[in-house]
Amino acid sequence: MKSKLTAKDFRRIALSLEGAEEGSHMGHPDFRVGGRIFATLASIDNGFGNLMLDPEQQKTFVDELPEIFLPIPGGWGRMGATHLRLSAANEDVVYGALQVAWKLRIAKNAKAGKKPTQRTKPKIKSVRRKP
């Protein structure tokens, strides 16, 4: 008989990913890479860990393992935010899902870092020369 995964397990696995740090958002633990959230424990009272996926990734997870994954209701869910039912998952599934969310966040961070910045004309100081 497999033991149920807990918030402690989710946290341990999330923090095992390179560069992952624990933070807090609205009073709930979250997991970030590069300062941006890839997973949370905002729904742990209902037995869920949450993943920040894109809609296509979410659909794949929900279609393949509907007993474990389900979209978060509302707009966040439509954007890919996904519940992971800890009681139905094993460590391999949680690790794999967290890794997908983590990789997506790293890719988004890199893309955001490459955005062209608006340049302004350099300010030229006038220098007075002594006669």
Give the residue numbers spanning the domain of 56: 7-113
- How far is the CA of 106 from the CAs of 18, 33, 103, in angstroms? 10, 7, 5
Q: Considering only 3-7, 36-40, 65-69, 96-100, which range has the smallest mean pLDDT?
A: 3-7
Alpha carbons 84 and 102: distance in angstroms, whole number? 15
Q: Which of the pair, 13 or 1, is modelled with greater confidence?
A: 13
User: Quick check: is 92 in a domain?
Assistant: yes
| Tally of domains in the chain | 1
Cβ partners under 8 Å of residue 9, min gap 6 = 86, 91, 94
- How far is the CA of 81 from the CAs of 74, 119, 125, 129, in angstroms? 10, 35, 50, 62
Q: What is the pLDDT of residues 82-109, one digit of tens each?
A: 999 999 999 999 999 999 999 999 999 9
User: Quick check: is 128 in a domain?
Assistant: no
- The enclosing domain of 23 has a CATH number of 3.90.1150.30
